[in-house]
Structure 1
């Protein structure tokens, strides 16, 4: 007899602890199932080939957070449909590789390659166990990828430090830690803190049988800094993009109402010390 298909209908959502192995595995299945929906909703803003750091609209073509990448070996972790790597290869002159844990997102990346007439090297990999040699890259980056969806983000930083050459750069963007104290509401309902900033229980969605369907993890600002430093990397700076005037797009809990008062994104810049 064939096994009955699993029922992935959402039964419960909230902030509570779940076993790390269950929470850490959930991202692959969730992104496989929701790749089409995610790109249908946000694809026009992301573009087929562009490096967007955050819902505030900060793009690498404006911010230059990665520095001059012409001829550089660049790795993107948690790349989704690889829009960032595709832009780096076609517009910035980098030798880029995109990785993601989700086969569904990488399939979407292949479709974007076909639509744009480009060829992006795509590798399915968990950012906590990268299949690359030590010191293989000059730059590693992620824009809201990998780090929010694992309970052990320090392993991602350790892997990044390993695959970076001495002097290489690591840049990542995440939801601003302050946001976790507030409801995920882009309007006025999201302006009043309802949870402790120090409550590190992840946001979890579960099925009726208790299976974890989705898990997203909160880390304080100090946690992010400790993870970077603990991996032997040097912190170069923090960026908190302001909400730009005239930008009316709402993306989940991001929008002009909250953006005018609260930071929505944290971008961290670091490097591996020279040998």
Structure 2
């Protein structure tokens, strides 16, 4: 079941809407294409816009990327770096019995992999629709152990302090929040001393290039130092999607400001076997510039 903790960033959802069978396409009749712009967007606007965006687009996202993500695979990004080989959370055998929080879990594929290693994962996401896909996957391929599902905002984690041994996020939540320090501070709060926090995001250098997979995406078109958020907005100027840019230095400072120690920064290279294109991620661009940055942090 999807749990709905009460709190300032969360409202209750009728239990009847939690059935995985209710995965009909959301109504999008008559909605014009949003306008893409760069402008300020605060925490509340970003959270609301992205919750609705992922609810509207979860079906298409899982249909397009589900085969690459798998049902119980832990992939750190479009390059296809797999936690089975990367071991950024630690050796797979060390995960048994660990309490793990996955933030921005989507359909909880990573959490299902963690559960298969003997961990006790909690998959948290802002989007109700994404978590419904987690229920769908569990219904289609039942497992002996399944992650707990929680719908909540990453900036207000509904857990007691010192609840988890590990926390992770593969392209979840962090790129979409206006105040990453608030999220990191919440992760720090719920981790036990010695806990590890590993998260992946779009590599910050990508913000200087067009979001194109071909040669046109190899010429710098914007300042790397422009932190103005990318916003898609409707005809009334209301944000319907928001993504926030932080430089590498910003990310490091945010990690340290939240009380973590950065122990590794991984920039996966594009592997020869991966021929897929995901928007601006492609074999051409991946062979020349990094597309993903993975921050490995520890709480002392």
Give secondary structure in 2 for the equivalent of 1:87: helix
1:173 maps to what in 2? 200
TM-score by length of structure 1 reads 0.95
**Could you give the per-residue CA deviations for residues 13-71 of structure 1, whole angstroms, max 9, x where no partner exists?**
12222344212321100000100000010000000111100100101011000002111
Task: Choose 50-59 or 119-128, whichever is displaced more.
Answer: 119-128
Give secondary structure in 2 for the equivalent of 1:53: coil
- Within 2, Cα distance between the matches of 1:226 and 1:18? 21
- Within 2, Cα distance between the matches of 1:10 and 1:139? 40
1:261 maps to what in 2? 288
**Could you give the per-residue CA deviations for residues 158-211 of structure 1, whole angstroms, max 9, x where no partner exists?**
000000000000000000000000000011111001100000011111111111
Give secondary structure in 1 for the equivalent of 2:95: coil
Alpha-carbon offset, residue 7 of structure 1: 6.6
2:276 maps to what in 1? 249
- Within 2, Cα distance between the matches of 1:134 and 1:20? 23
- Within 2, Cα distance between the matches of 1:260 and 1:6? 40
Instruction: Note the residue ranges of structure 1 that are not aligned, 5 or more in a row.
Output: none
**1:13 and 2:36 are equivalent in the alignment:** yes
Given candidates 123, 146, 169, the residue that maps to 1:142 is 169
2:180 maps to what in 1? 153
2:72 maps to what in 1? 49
- Within 1, Cα distance between the matches of 2:230 and 2:42? 13
Give secondary structure in 2 for the equivalent of 1:142: strand
Instruction: Note the residue ranges of structure 2 that are not aligned, 5 or more in a row.
Output: 1-27
Aligned positions, number: 268
- Within 2, Cα distance between the matches of 1:17 and 1:141? 27
- Within 1, Cα distance between the matches of 2:178 and 2:51? 14
TM-score by length of structure 2 reads 0.87
| Contact residue 113 and residue 120 of structure 1 kept, 8 A | no
Q: How does 1:218-257 map to 2 (within 5 A)?
A: 218-257=245-284
Given candidates 106, 109, 113, the residue that maps to 2:134 is 109
Given candidates 196, 199, 202, the residue that maps to 2:223 is 196
- Within 1, Cα distance between the matches of 2:34 and 2:292? 29
CA RMSD of aligned residues (A): 1.3
